[in-house]
Structure formats: structure tokens, C-alpha cells
Amino acid sequence: MKLIDGKEVSEVLKKKLKDEVAIIIDADQRAPHLAAVIVGDDPASHTYVSSKEKNAKALGFTSSVYRLPGDVTQQELMNTIEFLNKDDQVDGYIVQLPLPEHMDEQLVTSAIRPEKDVDGFHPVNLGRMMLGQPAYLPATPNGIMELLKHYQIDTEGKHCVVLGRSNIVGTPMSVLLSRKARPGNATVTLCHSRTKNLEQMAASADILIAAIGKKEFVKGHMVKEGAVVIDVGIHREPSEKTKSGFRLKGDVDFQSVSKKAAMITPVPGGVGPMTIVSLLINTLKARKKEVFPG
């Protein structure tokens, strides 16, 4: 079994990004600017946003964070979005999900200007992705595509099974894998909570992507011998052994699955670091107006 080291791959990509940003700054131009909006006090969301901010700054990006209280109204959040849409100094921004229950996520993601939607969740970007047109690709699925590319994992004609059909991970993942491209050209099965024979489906996968949001859901018996397994899940559990007081687990039971898989992403250090780097790749594209020229 070989580990797919997302941390290592993300460092390679980060070095490239840092060099590109340095060229922009050396030419006396404005550094790419990523902004983030976070609503409420969900600790995991705050950890993600801090990590995005830290990584952005380390690579020379400008980073700003708008922290709004959990009881902010939808209109107040929309006002912040409107402000960021108009701010010429901000190239791209994200609204960290999930939002509090009283908010309409679809309304919020659709209000972000597509040109600044570096998370790639706006219908325009998702539609362009579907059609294979230039688009900001959703960070997590695109990070996984980068991992497949880096490790030269052949997807052509392979059976890829994606567990989970969320708009931000599972569904775009299935689209990217089935596109006429490399990586791509896979035969994709998308499973969800109404899938009847999910275990059999998973066990028939050459490449299995778990994005189901259930801790250690995928067990060894659900994986074909020699499969490639990508674990998207992130679950915090209390731990006395770590300084932070918690440790991370995935959607895959690493213990049993790693005995069957040929290659597997660990949690942490697999998909997570790639998500952040994908977001920064999109932000640099926004600064250079590569996706929406003019």
C-alpha cells in the first residue's frame, strides 16, 4: 500500500504559487487578494478559515477575514457580499459553509459575483464546469484531480465510485471524473443515502472517493483489492494525545481499508491540504483574470 501524500503535493504546488505571486509583486503590481466571510462560531469553520488565511499570507497573497456573529441577518450577510462584490482590491472571496440554519446557502452562493467565486459554487461556475468551459473548479474535487494527476493515477475507462452527492464535493467530483479529459474519461457511479447496494458498488470501484460525512464508514470489506481510495471526510474526535485536544478521522476506516487498497489518502494530510491550495490557485487565476477575461 502506498500513501497519497497530499501534504507533499500541496507543498510542490504552493512553491509554484509563491513564485508566481513574487513575480507579480516584483513588477510593482498588487498581490492577489483572497477574502473570507465566516458567520458564527463553529470551531471547525474557524480552524479552516485561519488555515486558509495563514497559507495565503505565507505565499504572498493579501488575506482578509470578515467575521460575523451567528445571529446576523441574511440581509446583513448580503450587504457584506455586495461590498466584496464591488471592492476592486478583492480578487476572490469565499463564504465559509455551513451557514447557520436561518440562512439560505443557495441564495448566498448565488449572490457572489461569478468572477470572484473562487470556491466555484456559483451556478455560473458549476454550469461552465459541466460544459467543460473555463471555470473556477470547486476546491476539493479539483484538489483530488491534482492528486490523481501528480501520482499519474490512470482514470481512463476505470470504474470510479463516488460516495456522497453534495454540491461542493460529490456531484462536481463525479462530473470532473467523467469529463472527456485527463484525468477523466472514467465510468462514474454516484452513490448517496438512497442507493440500495452501496457496499457492492463501493467494492466494484477501481477508484473509490468517500465524501459521505460519516466517520470511518468505508470498511475493508467494501473495497476491492488494489483499489485507489480517496478519503474526503473530516471528523474531529477528542484526544488526550494531541496538543489541540482533538484528532482527525476520515470517512474511511484506514486500519482495515489500507490492507486492501493499493493507494490511499491519509486523514489528515491527504485531501485537506489540496483543498486549500486549490482555493489559492483559483485566487491567482482571479487576479490574472484567466477565467473571466476583461
The set of catalytic residues is 52, 96, 119
Helix (H, G, I), strand (E, B) or coil at 222: helix
- State the minimum distance, in angstroms, from the CB of residue 73 to ligand NAP: 24
CA 183 to chain CA centroid, nearest Å: 17
Identified binder of ligand NAP from the candidate list 63, 275, 282, 283, rule CB under 6 A: 275
- Please identify, among the stretches 16-24, 100-108, 125-133, 163-171, the one whose residues bind ligand NAP according to the rule CB under 6 A: 163-171
Neighbours of 147 (CB within 10 A): 24
Distance CA 191, CA 188 (A): 10
Across-strand partners of 229? 208, 264
- List binders of ligand NAP among 175-194 (CB under 6 A): 191-194
- Please identify, among the stretches 17-25, 100-108, 164-172, 255-263, the one whose residues bind ligand NAP according to the rule CB under 6 A: 164-172
Distance CA 211, CA 279 (A): 18
What are the phi and psi torsion angles at 237 (to 5°)? Answer: -130, 145
Write the binding mask 133 to 152 for ligand NAP: x where contact by CB under 6 A, - elsewhere.
-------x------------
Alpha carbon of 258 to those of 62, 74, 144, 230, 231: distances in Å? 39, 44, 18, 11, 11
- State the minimum distance, in angstroms, from the CB of residue 203 to ligand NAP: 14
Distance CA 161, CA 88 (A): 41
C-alpha cell at 89: 482590491
Cα torsion 243, 239, 273, 139: sign: negative
**Do 159 and 186 meet the contact criterion of CB atoms below 8 Å apart?**
yes
Nearer to ligand NAP, 92 or 272 (CB): 272
Q: Please tell me the count of residues contacting ligand NAP according to CB under 6 A.
A: 24
- State the minimum distance, in angstroms, from the CB of residue 98 to ligand NAP: 8
Write the binding mask 214 to 243 for ligand NAP: x where contact by CB under 6 A, - elsewhere.
x-----------------xxx---------
Identified binder of ligand NAP from the candidate list 92, 138, 170, 172, rule CB under 6 A: 170
- List binders of ligand NAP among 2-61 (CB under 6 A): none
- Please identify, among the stretches 53-61, 73-81, 168-176, 220-228, the one whose residues bind ligand NAP according to the rule CB under 6 A: 168-176
Helix (H, G, I), strand (E, B) or coil at 63: strand
Nearer to ligand NAP, 134 or 269 (CB): 269
Distance linking the first and last C-alpha atoms of the chain: 47
Question: Does 212 interact with ligand NAP (rule: CB under 6 A)?
Answer: yes
- Angle of CA points 233, 237, 243, to nearest 5°: 115
Distance CA 46, CA 40 (A): 9
Nearer to ligand NAP, 114 or 273 (CB): 273
CA 100 to chain CA centroid, nearest Å: 20
Q: Which residue is nearest to ligand NAP (CB)?
A: 166
Question: Does 124 interact with ligand NAP (rule: CB under 6 A)?
Answer: no
- State the minimum distance, in angstroms, from the CB of residue 146 to ligand NAP: 12
Residues in contact with ligand NAP by CB under 6 A are: 140, 164-166, 168-170, 191-195, 198, 211-214, 232-234, 251, 271-272, 275
